[in-house]
Amino acid sequence: MESSLKIKAIIAEEQGAPDVFKVGEVDFPSNEGKENYVWIKTEATGINRAETMQRKGLYPSIPGETDVIGLEAAGYLVNSQEEYTSGEYKNNERVMALLPGGGYSDIARVHKDHLMKIPENLSFEEGAAIPETWLTSFQLLFLVASGKEGQTALIHAAGSGIGCAAIQLCKKVGITTIAVASTNEKLELAKSIGASHGINYKENADFSTLVQEYTGGKGVNIILDCVGAQNFDYNIKSAAVDCQWVLYGLMGGPKVPEFNLKSFMGKRIQLLCSTLKTRTNEYKADMITKFSEQFLPLFETGELKPIIDITLKYSEMKDAHEYMESNKTQGKIICTNDL
Amino acid sequence: MESSLKIKAIIAEEQGAPDVFKVGEVDFPSNEGKENYVWIKTEATGINRAETMQRKGLYPSIPGETDVIGLEAAGYLVNSQEEYTSGEYKNNERVMALLPGGGYSDIARVHKDHLMKIPENLSFEEGAAIPETWLTSFQLLFLVASGKEGQTALIHAAGSGIGCAAIQLCKKVGITTIAVASTNEKLELAKSIGASHGINYKENADFSTLVQEYTGGKGVNIILDCVGAQNFDYNIKSAAVDCQWVLYGLMGGPKVPEFNLKSFMGKRIQLLCSTLKTRTNEYKADMITKFSEQFLPLFETGELKPIIDITLKYSEMKDAHEYMESNKTQGKIICTNDL
C-alpha cells in the first residue's frame, strides 16, 4: 500500500443539516487513472445551491470523484504533490475552476481543461465567485437556450449568484431582463446591474400579469427557472410564442398537479432541462473555452463583475450553508481557506 | 365592387363530422395586399390530421387566408387569373407547395417561396404527398430537434404520412428508428422503409420496456410524439439522457394528471413543442430551401419515396376524412381534383 498524504478538508460524516460539517482530513487526491488532471491549492470557494442538496444526500457525488463537497474554487495551480508540499505552487498561476467536487478541501483535483486564469484585477474571492455561477448562466442562456439580442428573459431567483450573472450577461448581449425575487432589496440589486424590471413574487404570486405588462402582451422569450412546480402555470402564462424555458432547479418542488399540454403546444414552448455537474468533461471544456473567449475579458475591463454578498471561512461552512438556505442572499457566498 | 371569378372548392358551411363537406364555389383568391404570391391550379391534395381538426373547428384558419381547408397541393403554377381562365397554365411548371389553406379548391394561392418543383419522375399524386408531410418530418427531426447520425429515434404513429417520411429521413441520415403503431401491418410497412424495430402499442401499452431492450438500456435520443398525454410517462421512461422529445400533436389527449419535473431533470429531457401551420412565411421559406437542397434530389434517385395508402377524389373528401379518422392509414391519403 502506498503512503498517502493527508490534507485538510471540510467533511460531513453523515447527511443532514449544515451542522454536519466539521474540519477533518482526507487523502491527497491521487491522479492514478486520471490523465490530464492537475490540482488547485484552494484559496477560496463559492457556495452553491447544489452543494446544499449534496449535503442533504439529494445530489450524489460524481462516481470516481471525491466525496468532499465543492463545485468551484480559486487558488494556485499545482502540478505535482511535491509542488504542494514544498510550497512552490505559490509561484504558479492563479486559477479558478469548475470542479467535480473537492472545493471544500485544501487541494482539489481538476481536469486541466476546466481551468481558467483569474483576471489580474480580481482577487481569489472574486475568482471563486465565477466558475459555477457564471458558467451555469452562460450555459443556460447560450448553450441550452439560444439567447440573442432583442429578446426578453425572465430571471427567477434574481438575487442568487446565477441570477446576478445572468442579468449581466443578458445586458451585455442586448437581452432585456425581468428579475423575479422575494425582496425589494434583491430587486434593487438586480436593477443596479442591468435588469429592466423587477417583480417581487411575495407581493405578486402570479407574476405573469406584470410580465405581460412589461412585454406589451408579448411574453418573454427565455425563462431561467430554478423553482419548478410552484411557478409552473405562471411561467406558461408569461411565455411568448417559441419561448425557451430552461429548468435548472426545483426549489419550488417537482410535482405539477396537472399539466395541460395544449398550453405548451399553443405557444410552441420548449421546456429545456439542464444540469451542469453531470455533463461530460468534453462538454465542460468546450463551454469553458467559449466562455473564456467571449466573456472572461470583460471582467478585466470591469464590464462584468462577480457580485459577492458575504465572505466567510471554510471553518464557517455551517454558517455559509445556513445563509444559503435562508434564501436571503444577494449574490455569492464565498469562503476563504483557513484550513 | 369588382367582378369576382368563382372557382370550385370543397367547402364546409358548418363545423362537424366529415359529411359537412360538399362541392361548392368560392371567390378566386385575390392577391390584393399579398405581394409575392402566385397560384396553383390544383391537381391533387394530401389529407392531413390538422385538416380534420380544422373541419371540427379545433384549429382555425390563418387570419387573412382562405377558409377553404387544405395545407398542401400539387398542380400547375399559375401566374395570373388570365393564365387560369385561358388554360395556358398547362404549359407552366409542375409544382407542389405548402399552403396556408385552400388545397381543397381548384386554385390555391401560395407564397412564391413556398413552392417546390415536382421531381420529374413523380406524379401529381406523389407530389401532393410531399410538402406537409415531409417538410413537417424534416422540421421536427432537424430544425426543432437536432437529429444526427448515430442517434436513435422513437417514431410514434409510424404508419402515418409523417411517420413514414420520418423513418426514411432518419435512415438516410443514419439515425436508427423504433416505430410504434397500432397494427403489425403498419409495423411491417415501417420496417420495409427502414425502421429497425417495431412496437405494437396495442400489445405493449408500456412500450418503454421494449425501447430499453432495443437500445441496450440507453433509451432514445429523439421522440417524435403526436400522441401526448396517453404516452407521457412511457415516453419519459423511453428517453435517453439529453433526449429531444418533439411534441407535434395531441391525439392521445392533452391532460397529464401529474407531472413530476424530477423525471425530466434527471435525464435533462427537452420537451419541444412544434406546429408548422402558424410559422412565419420566412421560417417556411427557409425550411423549404434547406429541404429542397438536402433531400428533394433523393426523390429523383428513388432513395426517398412518398408512401401513398389510397387515392380518392376531391368529391370524396368525406370518405378521405373518415378514413383518416379511422386511424387505419398506412401512408398518405391523396385526393385528385375532379371539381
- Contact list in A for residue B247 (CB cut-off 8 A) is 261, 264-265
Q: Is there a single domain that holds both residue B198 and residue B282?
A: no
Say whether both A159 and A106 belong to one domain.
Answer: no
Report the chain A residue with the minimal C-alpha distance to residue B247. A265
The answer to whether the CB atoms of A269 and B264 lie below 8 A apart is: no
Of A249, A273, A297, the residue that ends a domain is A273
Using DSSP bridges, classify how beta strands A152-155 and A220-225 pair: parallel, antiparallel or unpaired: parallel
End residue of a domain, out of B255, B273, B291: B273
A299 close to A122: Cβ distance less than 8 angstroms: yes
pLDDT band at A63 (very low <50, low <70, confident <90, very high): confident
Last residue of some domain: B252, B273, B294?
A: B273
- DSSP secondary structure letters along B226-261: S--GGGHHHHHHHEEEEEEEEE---TT-SEES-EEH
- Per-residue pLDDT of A196-213, as tens digits, reads 999 999 999 999 999 999
Whole-number Å distance between alpha carbons of A241 and B104: 29
Among all residues of chain A, which has the CA nearest to that of B252? A261
Is A197 in the same domain as A293? no
| A309 within a domain of the structure (yes/no) | yes
Mapped onto helix, strand or coil, the DSSP state of residue B97 is strand
Ramachandran area for residue A102 (φ above 0: left; ψ -120 to 50: alpha; else beta): left
Residue B1 in this model has a pLDDT that exceeds 60: no
Cα separation of the two ends of chain B: 27
Determine contact, residues A173/A200, Cβ cutoff 8 Å. no
Judge whether B212 lies within some domain: yes
The helix or strand, by DSSP H or E, that contains position B262, with its residue range, turns out to be helix B261-267
pLDDT tens for each residue of B272-296: 999 887 889 899 999 999 999 999 9
For an interface test with B, which of A232, A261, A271 has the most B Cβ atoms less than 10 Å from its Cβ? Answer: A261
Residue A1 covered by a domain? no
List beta partners, residue B97. Answer: B73, B115
Confidence of residue B60 (pLDDT cuts 50, 70, 90): confident
A45 and A107: one domain?
yes
CB-nearest partner of A264 from B268, B270, B273: B273
Q: What is the pLDDT of residue A189?
A: 95
Do B213 and B300 fall within a single domain?
no
Residue A269 lies in a domain: yes
Residue type present at position B178:
I
| Residue A108 resides in a domain | yes
Quick check: B258 and A258 CB within 8 A?
A: yes
- The per-residue pLDDT for B3 is 59
Residues A139 and A113 in one domain: no
The ipTM (two decimal places) reads: 0.90
- Look up residue B7 and give its three cell numbers: 372557382
Average pLDDT over residues A161-184: 97
Nearest by CB: B261 against A247, A261, A270: A247
For A92-150, the pLDDT digits (tens) are: 999 999 999 999 999 999 999 999 999 999 999 999 999 999 999 999 999 999 999 99
Structural domain contains residue B1: no
Cβ-based contacts under 8 A for chains A and B: 76
The residue type found at A317 is M
What is the arithmetic mean of pLDDT over B304-318?
A: 97
For range A175-186, the mean pLDDT: 97
Separation in Å, CA of A192 to nearest CA in chain B: 32
Domain shared by B167 and B48, yes or no: no
Using a CB–CB cut-off of 8 Å, the residues of A that contact B are 228-229, 247, 250, 254-262, 264-265, 267-275
| Domain shared by A158 and A263, yes or no | yes
User: What number of other Cβ atoms are within 10 A of residue B296's Cβ?
Assistant: 18
CATH of the domain at A140: 3.40.50.720
User: Which of the 8 DSSP states describes residue A16?
Assistant: S
Residues B154 and B173 in one domain: yes
Q: B61 vs chain A: nearest CA distance in angstroms?
A: 14
CATH number for the domain spanning B287: value is 3.90.180.10
Which of A256, A260, A268 is opposite residue B254, by nearest beta carbon? A260
Q: How sure is the predictor about A33, in pLDDT bands with cuts at 50, 70 and 90?
A: confident
Q: With the C-alpha atoms ordered B202, B204, B208, B211, is the resulting torsion angle positive or negative?
A: negative
Host domain of residue A154: 134-273
User: DSSP per residue over B162-202, as a string?
Assistant: HHHHHHHHHHHHT-EEEEEESSHHHHHHHHHTT-SEEEETT
| Alpha helices (H) along chain A | 49-55, 81-86, 124-128, 131-138, 161-173, 184-192, 208-214, 232-238, 261-267, 281-294, 297-300, 317-325
Q: Do the Cβ atoms of A273 and B265 come within 8 Å?
A: yes
The pLDDT value recorded for residue B62 is 87
The model's confidence at residue A277, banded by pLDDT at 50, 70 and 90, is confident
Residue A1 has pLDDT above 70, yes or no: no
> Taken in order B115, B116, B121, B125, is the CA torsion positive or negative?
negative
Say whether both A268 and A144 belong to one domain.
yes
Q: Same structural domain for residues B269 and B281?
A: no
Q: Per the structure, how many domains does chain A have? A: 2
Q: Which residues pair with B7 in a beta bridge?
A: B26
Q: Which residue has the cell 446565477?
A: A162
Kindly state whether residues A205 and A321 are assigned to the same domain. Answer: no
Q: How far apart are CA B247 and CA A12, in angstroms?
A: 44
Of A98-107, B25-34, B135-144, which range is least confident? B25-34
Inter-chain touch B264–A257, beta carbons under 8 Å: no
Sign of the dihedral defined by the CA atoms of residues B100, A245, B153, B178, in that order: negative
